[in-house]
Amino acid sequence: MTVDYSTLPQHKILCIDMKSFYASCSAVMMGLDPLECHLAVVGDQERQGSIVLAASPRLKKDFGIKTGARLFEIPKDPRIILAEPKMATYIRISTEITRLFHRYVPKEAIHTYSVDESFIKIDGATGLWGDAFTIARKIKDELEREFQLPCAIGIGPNMLLAKLCLDLEAKKKGIAEWTYEDVEKKLWKVSPLSEMWGIGRRVERTLNRMGIFTVGQLARYDLDKLEAKFGVMGNQLYHHAVGGGFIRDWRPYYRRTN
């Protein structure tokens, strides 16, 4: 199995992730810097077993507290601030952020993936605003200026590569761009497999038992055997590994070779 990348979509797609969105929104509402404060959004501060709904980047880095942790796991440190969730406000801010995207592209070019993550197809906007990286920088700057909220942006030729670029590089750099040429150089070296979007711990363990420990090994594995083991999910795993796009996109774009 091989992929003819020349037949795959050659779009310019931004995957925009609002960093620690709930925690960042709460920090701004409290007059704090969302990138510097140690803040956790906790549903019920009276219950020690209450779940941390969001943690600021510094809380994650300095104390190891992540979304999904429990209140009792948060150290008793005077630097740490606990905030109650303001879901209606978070949703309103998310809606306003989407309106900001409308300045660059029409409604049909925006796909809201979650309250804090969106895809934007900017193919028709580059003639007006500049190349993809320039547009990403403009959007990032406007989000910081108008909402005081940080974000990371991955750029790719399809939604999958934009998402993988976001998760694996842009979240560290702020903005990054991947092309199909980056699949072998950047994606195939990813290990453990659960670091890749779409592969959970259980699937990772199964793949490891099959001798697959990197995304590159998954991309080179026999597709028939993946299908036999995982069914349609085997197709999905393979096409994600070669950067071919989300499952609804990849079927027309591959061919078998001897």
DSSP 20: T
Establish whether 204 is a catalytic residue. no
Structure tokens given for 217: 């090994």
From 117, 169, 177, 204, the catalytic residue: 117
Torsional sign, CA 224, 230, 233, 234 = negative
Instruction: Say how far apart CA 62 and CA 53 lie, in whole Å.
Output: 18
Distance between CA atoms of 14 and 221, rounded to whole angstroms?
30
Q: Any residues with CB less than 8 A from the CB of 72 and at least 6 apart, and which?
A: 48, 49
Q: Is 120 helix (H, G, I), strand (E, B) or coil?
A: strand
Q: Residue 191's CB: how many other CB atoms inside 10 A?
A: 15
Could you list the active site residues? 117
